[in-house]
Structure 1
Amino acid sequence: MKATLDSRNSAHTPDLEVRHRTISIDGVRIFYREAGPANAPVVLLPHGYPSSSFQFRNFMPALADRWRLLAPDYPGFGYSDTPAGFAYGFDGYADLLDRFARALGLGRYALYLHDYGSQIGLRLAIEAPERVAALILQNGDIYEDELGPKYETLKAYWANPTPEGRKKMYEAVSEEGFRHEFVGEIDERLVERIPPDLWKLSWPLMTEERRDIMVGLMEGLKDNLAWFPRYQAYLRERRPPTLIVWGPQDGYMPEGAARAYLRDLPDAELHLLDGGHWALETNLPEIVALSRDFLGRVHA
């Protein structure tokens, strides 16, 4: 008798798949990705620039057997709305992330902090420290003395914000500028691991309105420096369990920016990877293994 495959009884597990959803928060349509059981410990994933929740597309299903993972697109990014009157800055995004977490009933969560997501997620952590079960830090800068050489252009503009300087930043918000963000600093042998989808799919979503928002965020990084001591104080005083996974091939956030966290988190676990700013693309298996081990001990 021939065996037949009944798809209803196969190894198919919906919880391991990434679901693509939207939610309205104060009338703003927010797109988000979700994976994992609804009753599992939560991992909240605020994204970086110039990406969106797309950057977590492979990480999420790799942990979804034990954790519930949620990654929203900020307004002005990815598939979320770009509403007029929204506070397009790190404070506004942190407030949005807080409202997103509340709308989904997330009482406690681990935070995966990367790039802009570090600034946004740490603001949320300061506002509601009781909700933070753990941190995973990956190429996010909060130590001014360890900012990498790529900050020099921004610093020059902050010191002398001319129209010509702003035009250069505006020109960097381009398809080629996006490509450079993803592959411009890593070893050539790693470039082939970076899918062109990261910039080819992001660029068509970049309207002129959104380009203005992106430039405004770059300008806002100057004021963001004033938050660095507050982030450090939060880490030093609260000492959340922390895993640091870092790609040192990063002109904004080199190896020193990773080691600096140990000043305030001496018990943190630090792992320097053979990669750069977008280590989830080049070092995914390592980060997944380290994250599973870490979260299994502190947020299970």
Structure 2
Amino acid sequence: MSAVPVAHRTVDVNGIRTFYREAGPADGPVVLLPHGYPSSSFQFRNLMPALGDRWRLLAPDLPGFGYTRADADHFPYTFDAYASFLRRFTEALGLRRYAIYLHDFGSQFGLRLAISAPERVAALVIQNGDIYEDQHGPKYAPLKKMWADPSPYALAAVAAHVSEQGFRDEFVGEVPEEIAERISPDLWTLSWAQVGQPPGPANLVRLLADQRTTVQWFPRQQAYLREHRPPTLVVWGPYDGYMPEGAARAYLRDLPDAELHLLDGGHWLLETRLAEVVSLMRDFLGRVHP
């Protein structure tokens, strides 16, 4: 099977010119790919052509990331705003049913989309996107300190990591050296080139500070999973200082029938275990979202 081409397009979403990548047949079953922090749709550049023979894959650059520009006067850089934006993106493209890939911050936006219209969700693929506070890893510590005391001093401590080196640390993380060398430096150099100029870093600090609001959503998200039981594939890289193995296994509390696969990788699993993820997704989506 040869890889299919990926198209690069824009669409107006609530007055914001939004860049997105698309692959696959226009009438194919949709797979929605909201990206994580501090990346963009670029993180799905290899996944999309590998699945585009059967599925229509859509990966937007969310405001302030990648090629979607939005200043703070027109976009507030809160989790509520991003969740609303993702919903409006689906409306702008006329999407009626979709599987959602839930990763990092994108898991928050995607789950809120699912809660808002559960009848449209065909399936979930969860990859290092956490909703269980008791399973948060040690890397959350400085963020939680800031959430508890959002003083200028605490904000400054986190802002210091909104840098090219800080982005590198996010991508390389805690994976062993033999795995880390497979993670392309293009990830952090491109991300920083796109958001590193003012007011980009300040907008990202605002978003990181607002991350504290996600915790109050966890019970609702867990309740959604219990009530609606969407077909779910959990693929996880346990070398993750934010979301270790326990964060993956916690999903079985609310989705005991979910398929769980722990792969030898970290937070950015598509960079190091792409073939395994593609194989698992093809099998899973072929059964539940053909």
Q: Same fold (TM over 0.5)?
A: yes
- 1:171 positional shift: 1.2
Q: Which residue of 2 aligns with 1:111?
A: 100
**Structure 1 position 51 matched with structure 2 position 39:** yes
Match of 1:102 among 88, 91, 95: 91
After superposing the two structures, state which structure 1 stretch, 130-139 or 208-217, moved more: 208-217
Q: Which residue of 1 aligns with 2:241?
A: 251
**Structure 1 position 231 matched with structure 2 position 221:** yes
* Higher radius of gyration, 1 or 2: 1
SS in 2 for 1:34: strand
1:127-176 deviations in Å (ceiling 9; x for gaps): 01111000000000100100001111111222223322211211101000
Q: Which residue of 2 aligns with 1:5?
A: none
Tell me how large the CA RMSD over aligned residues is: 1.2
Match of 2:260 among 259, 270, 288: 270
1:65-94 deviations in Å (ceiling 9; x for gaps): 000000001111110021322132111111
Instruction: Give the whole-Å Cα distance in 2 for the aligned partners of 1:152 and 1:126.
Output: 28
SS in 2 for 1:201: helix
Match of 1:163 among 146, 149, 152: 152
Alignment TM-score, normalising by the size of structure 1? 0.94
8 A contact 2:234–2:259 mirrored in 1 = yes
Q: What residue ranges of structure 1 are gaps of 5+ in the alignment?
A: 1-10
SS in 1 for 2:39: coil
**Structure 1 position 31 matched with structure 2 position 45:** no
Instruction: Give the whole-Å Cα distance in 1 for the aligned partners of 2:92 and 2:142.
Output: 39
SS in 2 for 1:202: helix
**Structure 1 position 140 matched with structure 2 position 129:** yes
Instruction: Give the whole-Å Cα distance in 1 for the aligned partners of 2:45 and 2:37.
Output: 15
- Go from structure 1 to structure 2 and tell me whether the alpha carbon gap of 1:279 and 1:12 turns closer, same or farther (over 3 Å shift): closer
- Go from structure 1 to structure 2 and tell me whether the alpha carbon gap of 1:78 and 1:285 turns closer, same or farther (over 3 Å shift): same
| Number of positions where the alignment pairs a residue of Structure 1 with one of Structure 2 | 288
SS in 2 for 1:71: strand
Match of 2:176 among 159, 162, 187: 187
Match of 2:203 among 204, 209, 213: 213
Q: What residue ranges of structure 2 are gaps of 5+ in the alignment?
A: none
Instruction: Give the whole-Å Cα distance in 2 for the aligned partners of 1:48 and 1:77.
Output: 10
Q: Which residue of 2 aligns with 1:197?
A: 186
SS in 1 for 2:21: strand
Q: Which residue of 1 aligns with 2:270?
A: 280
Alignment TM-score, normalising by the size of structure 2? 0.97
8 A contact 1:136–1:242 mirrored in 2 = yes
SS in 2 for 1:76: coil
Match of 1:67 among 55, 62, 67: 55
Instruction: Give the whole-Å Cα distance in 1 for the aligned partners of 2:149 and 2:80.
Output: 24
- 1:183 positional shift: 0.9
1:205-255 deviations in Å (ceiling 9; x for gaps): 122212112111111111110000000000000000000000000000000
8 A contact 1:82–1:210 mirrored in 2 = no
- 1:12 positional shift: 8.2
SS in 2 for 1:51: coil
